[in-house]
Structure 1
């Protein structure tokens, strides 16, 4: 077998391209849902920490530490195989969504919190001096500044977390890796895996380019 026939077999591509396109849409939907929920959840948790309620902060810190410490695959397997014993049946898609969202919330909360703690005390005092409440100072002064500062690490974490959608292959979610692995097994060709690699590049290279543009925009705006 030649190189092209092994990795770029046109007959295999024609046979499995429709399935892979469907898998790309599944992956994109999962990634977008995870990003929106994870970033918004992390931002909300970081804002709640500002309130200084001890038991709330304790819960947030423990949640963030546990989610960052445990491998996502362990959480996925626990939910997928453990929840039915409690009478709760979750689809593979929902399990991946819940786990990746929880992981992204934990990481983005720490990123946003780092940005909020970097806002100087003078900024908070200036807001209070103009008659703003603590919550208004947070939302109108502190958080916008923090958000600008944390864009680079937040984008990196978002990209890293969304690539974990490939873990869906472990529990049968029809995303890119799952479909391409099945196609490789049936066809006996490495071409489906090449198609998967190209699909990931098509998804993530534009995402990386957009992230660089966003970073440059806010870098020049500061």
Structure 2
């Protein structure tokens, strides 16, 4: 049996493709859910850190530091395997979504904080002189300016989250990697793993190029100002 038959067996790939697509669907669902929840929670964390009462600020800082330091795999294992000992049991999908969202939120909060702090304080003072409330100032004045700085790193974090969905296979979630691993064991051929790698590439490569484009646009905008 030559290398082509071992790693690129067309017959095995065709038979495993429907299974891989089901795994890809689960991966997409997990990635989108984690990004949505993590982004919203991260923005709230950012506001808590910047504008909350001192105790809330300290709690937000502690959360951000802890979850930026912990590997996602450790968080996932703690949620899925440790929490049942205190009566909290979650499905593999829920556990993976929680782990990915909690870690993404910490990184999102830091990106949003950095973006908001690039806006000159005079913008806040001008908004206050116009009688705008805090949330009106954020929505109409601050965030539209900060978002140009925030988008490239936020997009990069989203790509990392999609890649980290592969860790869900550790808790037996039938994501793309888990389905590929099970299929290669069933068919005694590694081609399904190659197929999964190709699907990951096709999914994430356009997003990688998008990050490069956004970073270039952001740099040009800063030079323009």
Q: TM over 0.5: same fold?
A: yes
Aligned positions of 1:143-162 closer than 5 A: 143-162=143-162
* TM-aligned CA deviation for residue 215 of structure 1: 4.9
Moved more, 8-17 or 173-182: 8-17
Number of residue pairs matched by the alignment: 222
The residue that corresponds to 1:68 in the other structure is: 68
The residue that corresponds to 2:127 in the other structure is: 127
The residue that corresponds to 1:11 in the other structure is: 11
Instruction: Give the secondary-structure state (helix, strand or coil) at the position aligned to 2:174.
Output: coil
* TM-aligned CA deviation for residue 192 of structure 1: 1.1
Aligned positions of 1:96-107 closer than 5 A: 96-107=96-107
CA distance 1:52–1:80, shift in 2 (3 Å): closer
Show CA shifts across 1:166-202 (max 9, x none): 0011110111111111222222212111101111012
State the distance in 2 between where 1:144 and 1:165 align: 30
Question: Is the Cα–Cα contact under 8 Å of residues 49 and 58 in structure 2 kept in the other structure?
Answer: no
* TM-aligned CA deviation for residue 14 of structure 1: 2.5
TM-score (ref. length: structure 1) = 0.92
* TM-aligned CA deviation for residue 213 of structure 1: 5.0
* TM-aligned CA deviation for residue 128 of structure 1: 1.2
State the distance in 1 between where 2:217 and 2:69 align: 33
* TM-aligned CA deviation for residue 221 of structure 1: 6.4
Gapped regions of structure 2 (runs ≥ 5): none
Question: Is the Cα–Cα contact under 8 Å of residues 100 and 162 in structure 1 kept in the other structure?
Answer: no
* TM-aligned CA deviation for residue 134 of structure 1: 3.1
State the distance in 1 between where 2:73 and 2:52 align: 33
Moved more, 201-210 or 118-127: 201-210
* TM-aligned CA deviation for residue 100 of structure 1: 0.2
Gapped regions of structure 1 (runs ≥ 5): none
State the distance in 2 between where 1:30 and 1:134 align: 34
The residue that corresponds to 1:79 in the other structure is: 79
The residue that corresponds to 1:203 in the other structure is: 203
State the distance in 2 between where 1:163 and 1:42 align: 19
* TM-aligned CA deviation for residue 210 of structure 1: 4.0
* TM-aligned CA deviation for residue 44 of structure 1: 2.1
* TM-aligned CA deviation for residue 42 of structure 1: 1.2
Question: Is the Cα–Cα contact under 8 Å of residues 124 and 137 in structure 2 kept in the other structure?
Answer: yes
* TM-aligned CA deviation for residue 218 of structure 1: 5.8
Question: Is the Cα–Cα contact under 8 Å of residues 43 and 112 in structure 1 kept in the other structure?
Answer: yes
* TM-aligned CA deviation for residue 87 of structure 1: 2.3
